[in-house]
Amino acid sequence: MTVNDLYDILKTDFMEKAVSHGLMNEPIQVTCKALSVEEAIGKPDQDDYPIIKGKEVMIEATFFQARGQAFTDEFENRAYLIKDLLSMDLSTNQKRASFIAGLNAVYRHLGLTDRTVHCRDNEPVLCSKKLPDHLPIHSNILLIGHQPRFLEVLAAYGRVRAIDLDPGNIGKNFFNICIEPEENTQDAIKWCDIIFATGSTIVNNTASTFINSGKPSVFYGVSISAPAKILKLKTFCEYGH
């Protein structure tokens, strides 16, 4: 599946649902905004999450009473009609973030997906404790995206490598695991038995790398909620709302 194929599939399914529910020409807006740290994740005990460090933000789209979120390093604060989202050029993280957040909100409204809103407070810790239930024994694990609570659990569980896009993390040790740069991805894929990839890969245009890897892949977090339903991907998001 190429990158273009992936977004074409998402757009086609989105359009089919919008047409079948009579939403294409309705004056319904999807409004995207960047959430504050407390709005996005509450008040967790730890302060090492990327969203708290300020490298990325959570944006939220609202559609009627439904909310859909996406994690991104680029965002805009504006409104769209659904038909505008469907005709959008998805060549930037900013536009993909708006599209994915809108997709999550609309599919949540239609009852086609759930867990489109980030967990809060101590829930990331509780979520991480459930990770071992989803891992094969004695496996080599590749973590894509520096999710500190996941890395903490995985580092204690078994063999793990972690790759992140944030230059501020690369080369640093967290829980005795050195964060590797993006250029190590293919080597790490060959090494691993299973991939845990952040759902924000659907926003930063790298999800197809892991979908096409030939290795079992699990995508975590709320960003990929509706896309995972459409693309039939395995997900891990125990405490999303």
Domain boundaries defined on the chain: 3-109, 123-236
Q: What is the pTM for the complete model shown? A: 0.89
148 vs 47: CA distance, rounded Å? 10
79 vs 82: CA distance, rounded Å? 10
154 vs 196: CA distance, rounded Å? 10
Which stretches in the chain have pLDDT values below 50? 27, 48-49, 51-53
Q: Are 113 and 229 in contact (CB under 8 A)?
A: yes
**Which positions ≥6 away from 28 have C-beta within 8 Å?**
63, 64, 81, 82
Tokens 């609309």 sit at which residue? Answer: 106
Q: Are 128 and 150 in contact (CB under 8 A)?
A: yes
pLDDT of residue 29: 65
pLDDT of residue 53: 47
Neighbour count for residue 186 (Cβ, 10 Å): 11
pLDDT of residue 114: 95
The CA-to-CA distance between both ends of the chain, in Å, stands at 30
Alpha-carbon distance values, 69 to 130, 174, 192, 215, 238 (Å): 23, 27, 29, 27, 16
Alpha helices in 158-200 (DSSP H): 185-191
Longest CA span, the chain:
54
Architecture of domain 123-236: 3-Layer(aba) Sandwich (3.40)
pLDDT digits (tens, 9 = 90+) for 230-240: 999 999 999 88
Identify which of 220, 233, 234 has the alpha carbon closest to the alpha carbon of residue 119.
Answer: 220
Tokens 């302060």 sit at which residue? Answer: 47
109 vs 44: CA distance, rounded Å? 28
pLDDT of residue 179: 95
Tokens 């640093």 sit at which residue? Answer: 172
Q: Counting every residue, how long is the chain?
A: 241
pLDDT of residue 51: 47
pLDDT digits (tens, 9 = 90+) for 18-47: 999 998 876 456 666 665 656 655 665 555
Q: Quick one: angle between helices 93-109 and 3-20, nearest 10?
A: 40
